[in-house]
Amino acid sequence: MPLEFGLWRVDDRPVRVTTTPMPLESRLEELIVADPAILGRPILLIGRQLLTRHSKVIDLLGMDAEGCLHVLELKRDRTPRDVVAQLLDYGTWVQDLSNEQVREIYAAYARDTGVAEELDEAFALRFGTSPPDALNGAHTLTVVASEVDAATERIVTYLASGFKVPINVLFFRYFVDEGRSYLARSWLIDDVEAAESSVGTKTGGKREPWNGTDWYISFGEEPGGRSWDDARRYGFVSAGGGDWFSRTLRALPVGARVFTHIPKAGYVGIGTVSSEAQPFESAALAVDDEVVPMSRLPLKGTYQHATDTPATESGEDRREWVVPIDWEKSVPRDQALWRAGFFANQNSACKLRAHFTIDEVSRHFNIA
């Protein structure tokens, strides 16, 4: 049995407020849409009255901060067998949704409700960060009801506890007292147990498709270190100080299109890799139709590290590595572009799959 809540009005003496059936269970759906926080879990709603490929309709579909999907189904006076079977059927559909399909579902929801048009932006506004690279790595199934019978409790507990099916029941208790209405919630299965059940549904998630061309660059501009003014003027990006910082940058292929981001500032340039990475000491850049060793340029930044040998005793390369770039568009740091939902990553370079970021940055810089 779920944990039961009692409610008392305390004036001269405590008077218990009795629970009553909610007039319409559909009212629960309206309340959840108005404020998903009443579920007790941070959830971004991405779909409502969603038609599946099996011609069934999911009441509500949400997403959590890890990109996992949450199917919420109101009981609406159905029998235990019907509501549980329906949820399991939804699970077979949800688990196969690709990254692109999840985004299409949200786009349709956004058009219908007038909320933020892009999933990345809505996700950032809800959770304070951009969505994970992979979405739908797991899912949960929840019956939402003001009350359920003993048979439903037995079936759900049997599936969740015995077979680790990610299913649970969320109860809402409805109270009315002197013209005011109140809700209290409780779960059939403890949250910890439910979280353990969902482990079995993890599939690794579905990532956005990569276009084979675009890369993300994190240009870690530092006082007394590398300078974005240098990178703009002479056409390069760089990273160093250890293998972790330079390894991904050294892997950039010639011809890759790079979207360059300064941490805590925003996107500042789009360009194309013109030649392979080289250590600062031997790097040369094309300046006014002349190839000039980088060490001879009047640079604002410093591109040498305390230990600038090809490899330390531990075998780690701490040199600054430089990748020449032909800038298609670049702006000063104080004109950097940033919006909620934009992609950011700690790696110096990685494949850029975030279509929202690609589209918005390209549009801002007037690049097709």
**Cβ count near 157 (within 10 Å):** 17
User: At residue 310, does pLDDT exceed 70?
Assistant: no
% of the chain surpassing 70 pLDDT: 90
Cα 273 to Cα 220: distance, rounded to the nearest angstrom: 18
- The per-residue pLDDT for 316 is 83
Closest alpha carbon to 352 in 133, 172, 71, 53: 133
Express the helix, strand and coil content of the chain in percent, nearest 5 each.
30, 30, 40
Can you give the pLDDT at residue 299? 95
pLDDT average, residue stretch 163-189: 87
Per-residue DSSP letters for 222-266? Answer: -TTS--HHHHHHHTEEEE-SSHHHHHHHHTPPTT-EEEEEETTTE
- Lowest mean pLDDT across 136-145, 184-193, 203-212: 184-193
The band of 309, judged by pLDDT with boundaries at 50, 70 and 90, is low
> Given this model, what pLDDT does residue 141 score?
95
What pLDDT does residue 105 have? 96
pLDDT at 191: 58
- Return the beta strands (E) in the chain as ranges: 7-10, 14-17, 44-51, 57-63, 69-74, 134-135, 139-145, 167-177, 180-187, 206-207, 214-218, 236-239, 257-262, 266-273, 278-279, 284-287, 290-293, 321-330, 349-351
Average pLDDT over residues 10-31: 82
368 falls in which pLDDT band (50, 70, 90)?
A: confident
**Out of 57-71, 164-178, 290-304, which region has the weakest mean confidence (pLDDT)?**
164-178
**Mean pLDDT computed over every residue of the chain:** 88
Report DSSP letters for 301-319, one per residue.
S----SS-SS--TTS---S
* Span 336-351, average pLDDT: 94
Please tell me the predicted confidence (pLDDT) of residue 158: 92
Question: For 355, how many CA atoms within 13 A lie in the half-sphere containing its CB?
Answer: 11
Spatial distance between the Cα atoms of 220 and 225, rounded to a whole number of angstroms: 9
Four-residue CA torsion sign, 350, 301, 295, 327: positive
pLDDT above 70: residue 334 = yes
pLDDT at 63 over 90: yes
Residue 42's nearest CA partner among 75, 76, 67 is: 67
- The per-residue pLDDT for range 270-304, each reduced to its tens digit, is 999 999 999 999 999 999 889 999 999 999 999 98
pLDDT band at 199 (very low <50, low <70, confident <90, very high): very low
CA neighbours closer than 13 Å in the CB half-sphere of residue 3:
8
Question: What local confidence, expressed as pLDDT, does residue 275 receive?
Answer: 94
pLDDT in the model for residue 192 = 45
Closest C-alpha among 167, 320, 174 to residue 238:
320
